[in-house]
Structure 1
Amino acid sequence: MKAYLILEDGHVFEGEHFGGHKEVISEFVFNTSMTGYLEVLTDPSYAGQSVVMTYPLIGNYGVCLEDQESNQPFVEGFVVSELARLGSHFRKNMDLETYLKQHDIIGIQGVDTRFLTKLIRSKGCMNGLITTHHYDDISDVLKRIQNYQVKGVVNQTTCQQPYVLGQGQYKVALYDFGAKQNIARELVKRNCEVTVYPARTPAQTILEGHFDGIMLSNGPGDPSECQDIIENIKILSQSGIPIFAICLGHQLMSLAHGFQTEKMVYGHHGANHPVKDLNTNRVYISTQNHNYVVRKESIDESLAKMWFQNVNDGTLEGIEYLQEPIKTVQFHPEACAGPLDTANLFDQFIEMMGGKQNA
């Protein structure tokens, strides 16, 4: 069956349909990862977006459900150059198309993903539509596409009730703004008992829990939408409890301190982004997935300092706060899939909590 991808600038791509059948409008981003397509599909940070994979063959090792980063995929649509119909791996539970059909995620293959990626790089992230319906006149469709906005996605991806993972010496409260499961896994294997909380849990609830540390997770959407969450973070940042924040959590902590965020042209999405630790001048390869960034010019140097910087474009990748036990990073140290270069940042968080306990 034919499928069509229509972008808000009027470009129309024809390809072959796979996966679910629903017509979907979303924001389009590209991901440069060579592996980890299941982790991309199940990363809640992609809520409201469709993903264009730049690697030419996707699905070649099938789907292993154990590798999911959440219990369901959150991407709206999936665009690949070529779909591998039969995944070959001893751990696989099913092929990729079967998985997408089960979750009604529409896909299109046979598209020139190289041209599409260059288009997004030059014009920025664009809205688009994936459909199996052929429109003779796309003028009305373009209006619908252009009017689409990614809204309310934190509410769509956060958990509904608190739950506890693991047992250990350190009690950690993990705010779920659309958390990848490997954040909790990395904490659990470091002797932590992790209590996961919905995104809009009042700060007082956390303070009454007498936690050794607080983790702010990744998540989707525009951080400036989350004003009530930012107010909670303001309270927690003044509590003296060690806090480590990732991706959206990093942006929300910045906003809580009066810094500014802005939307990037096409964002960072992939498992090969170099970041530099400005304390050591050492460069690490990181996994990233974000469309928004903290403006480094907005940082109040009496409150915080830059910690990591992107080697490619110079954007801010991490902040150390000077008056509070808080560290935040824009990239994903839990990196599933991707390099584990920065997994030691979880060890630093454990050290922050240990210092507090022994004081």
Structure 2
Amino acid sequence: MDRLLVLEDGSVWKGKAFGSDNFKVGELVFNTAMTGYQEILTDSSYCGQIVMMTYPLIGNYGMNRDDWENLVPSVFGLVVKDLCEDYSNWRANSSLNDFCKQENIAGIYDIDTRAITRRIRDKGVMRCMMCNADANIDEVLETIRKTPEMHDQVQQVSAPRIYSVPNRGLKVVVMDFGSKLSIIRDLAALNLDIVVVPWNTDVKTIMSFCPDGVVLTDGPGNPTDIPEAIETVRQLMGQVPMFGICLGHQLISLACGAKTYKLKFGHRGSNHPVVHLSDGHVEITSQNHGYAVDIDSLANTDLVMTHKALNDNSCEGVAHKTYPVFGLQFQPTSTDGTGAMDAFVRLMTTEKENKKNA
């Protein structure tokens, strides 16, 4: 069955339908990764967005029960060039099409993703909506233009209540702004005793767990939409070591007086080069964000830039000049070679020893 993708600039793209017919207005973004569509579809940072994969063949290894980043997908839709129904993977238990039907995600394939990507790169991300082939385009465009911009994505995807992942190591409170499960798994793999709290948890509650450190996770949307979290980070500054990831990195920067801005088309993919400014070492990173920290605004803060994106020279990392606080705009893991999570453990250990000897 034919399906249309309508962009807010008035352009209409014809393709074929898959998944559900749960048509939503969302921000159209592209991801350049060749694999990882399951992790992308279940990444809460895509809440409110319709994701377009630039790699043409999607679905060839199916879907499995183990690689979900969240149990409830929050992506609004999926756009691909070639949809593979005949998947081959010993771990798979369903096709991409069946998954999208089950999770009520609308999809469109057999569409010129290359041309649409070029349009987004030229004009910037824009809102869009899928519809049936016989839909009234003027009415669809009116719906797109009248649908208000989302400002509550974090509230939708954050953990609704406090829960723990017990372990025998250092105590870490994780402020969940829409965290991927892989971040929790990687922290647990470092033997950290984890308490996950909702995005709007206050300082008193966080400090009641006597944490050795606080992790501020990734999440969707504009960081300035959650001023309560910015204030919480500001109050935690100096009380406990902090590590910010993606959105968490932006919150640290805002809490210290820096500014953020919306990127033209964001960084979404698995091969973004980032240089470590201290030694010139280049890391190939996984990224998913539409906002960045304004480098010029760092001048009047207590932060220094530690990492820079080689594709567009945007800020990819900051560290506090006085407090044991740092943030990274990309996704670190316990095994990616960047050493960020190990560095956070060392930072917490050092601070704990200093307090003990004070």
TM over 0.5: yes
What do residues 246-282 of structure 1 show as CA deviations (whole Å, max 9, x unaligned)? Answer: 0111111111111000001000000010000001110
Report whether the alignment pairs 1:330 with 2:326. no
Q: Secondary structure of the residue that 1:169 maps to in structure 2?
A: coil
The 3 A distance-change label for structure 1 pair 17 and 302 is: closer
Distance 2:337 2:131 in 1: 39
| Residue identity matched to 2:79 | V
Task: Pick the aligned partner of 1:349 from 344, 349, 353.
Answer: 344
Structure 1 stretch 296-305 or stretch 169-178: which is displaced more? 296-305
Residue 44 of structure 1 is matched in structure 2 by 44
Structure 1 position 125, deviation (Å): 0.3
Residue 230 of structure 2 is matched in structure 1 by 230
Paired residues for 1:18-167 under 5 Å: 18-136=18-136, 138-148=137-147, 149-167=149-167
Residue 267 of structure 1 is matched in structure 2 by 266
Structure 1 position 238, deviation (Å): 3.0
Structure 1 position 306, deviation (Å): 0.6
| Residue identity matched to 2:275 | K
CA contact (8 A) 1:26 1:150 kept: no
What do residues 70-114 of structure 1 show as CA deviations (whole Å, max 9, x unaligned)? Answer: 112221000000110021000112111111110100000001000
CA contact (8 A) 2:53 2:113 kept: yes
| Residue identity matched to 2:204 | Q
Using the size of structure 1 for normalisation, the TM-score is: 0.96
Paired residues for 1:202-221 under 5 Å: 202-221=202-221
CA contact (8 A) 2:238 2:324 kept: no
Task: Pick the aligned partner of 1:340 from 336, 343, 347.
Answer: 336
Q: Secondary structure of the residue that 2:107 maps to in structure 1?
A: strand
What do residues 109-134 of structure 1 show as CA deviations (whole Å, max 9, x unaligned)? Answer: 00100001000000000000012252
CA contact (8 A) 1:251 1:261 kept: yes
Q: Give runs of ≥4 in structure 1 deviating > 6 Å.
A: none
The 3 A distance-change label for structure 1 pair 195 and 345 is: same
Distance 1:65 1:316 in 2: 35
Structure 1 unmatched ranges of 5 or more: none
Residue 313 of structure 2 is matched in structure 1 by 314
Q: Secondary structure of the residue that 2:66 maps to in structure 1?
A: helix
Residue 291 of structure 2 is matched in structure 1 by 292
Structure 2 unmatched ranges of 5 or more: none
Structure 1 position 144, deviation (Å): 2.0
CA contact (8 A) 1:285 1:341 kept: no
TM-align CA RMSD: 1.3
What do residues 124-173 of structure 1 show as CA deviations (whole Å, max 9, x unaligned)? Answer: 0000001225224x233213212331220001100111111141211000
Q: Secondary structure of the residue that 1:24 maps to in structure 2?
A: coil
| Residue identity matched to 1:209 | F
Distance 1:301 1:347 in 2: 29
Distance 2:141 2:291 in 1: 25
Structure 1 position 301, deviation (Å): 5.5
What do residues 295-316 of structure 1 show as CA deviations (whole Å, max 9, x unaligned)? Answer: 0000036511110000111000
Distance 2:173 2:59 in 1: 36
CA contact (8 A) 2:27 2:128 kept: yes
Distance 2:341 2:47 in 1: 26
Using the size of structure 2 for normalisation, the TM-score is: 0.96
| Residue identity matched to 1:169 | G
CA contact (8 A) 1:274 1:312 kept: yes
| Residue identity matched to 1:31 | N
Distance 1:35 1:163 in 2: 31
CA contact (8 A) 2:258 2:294 kept: yes
Distance 1:218 1:310 in 2: 18
| Residue identity matched to 2:332 | P
Distance 2:337 2:15 in 1: 37
Distance 2:181 2:99 in 1: 19
Residue 3 of structure 1 is matched in structure 2 by 3
Structure 1 stretch 171-180 or stretch 143-152: which is displaced more? 143-152
Distance 1:300 1:25 in 2: 38
Distance 1:211 1:29 in 2: 37
Distance 1:73 1:334 in 2: 21
Structure 1 position 24, deviation (Å): 1.4
CA contact (8 A) 1:22 1:131 kept: no
Paired residues for 1:176-195 under 5 Å: 176-195=176-195
